[in-house]
């Protein structure tokens, strides 16, 4: 997993990602899915201000477990 400095914990922690998008929506008949991945501190669960994307984090083998339903969106 990627690591980053968390100002809330005052230490270097592992970074996880959480989808905070609104999910499925319909706007004037057009259907879509809003996905917004944000980096989260694995210790305090606060949002981190780091420049790493989920695509870059996929290089780490344990980023998405096989049973994570969000993997196959």
Q: Convert the pLDDT of each residue in 11-30 to its tens digit.
A: 888 888 888 888 888 999 98
Average pLDDT, the chain: 77
- The pLDDT assigned to 28 comes to 93
- The pLDDT assigned to 6 comes to 86
Of the two residues 7 and 55, the one the predictor is more confident about is 7
Q: What is the pTM of this model?
A: 0.60
Alpha helices per DSSP H over the chain: 54-57
CA dist., res. 7 & res. 53, Å (int)? 19
CA dist., res. 36 & res. 59, Å (int)? 19
Across the range 34-46, mean pLDDT stands at 87
């Amino acid at each position: 997993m990627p690591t980053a400095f968390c100002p809330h914990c005052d230490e270097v922690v592992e970074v996880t990602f959480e989808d905070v998008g609104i999910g499925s929506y319909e706007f004037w008949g057009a259907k879509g899915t809003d996905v917004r991945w944000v980096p989260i501190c694995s210790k305090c669960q606060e949002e981190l201000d780091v420049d790493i994307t989920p695509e870059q984090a996929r290089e780490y083998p344990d980023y998405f477990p096989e049973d994570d339903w969000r993997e196959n969106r």
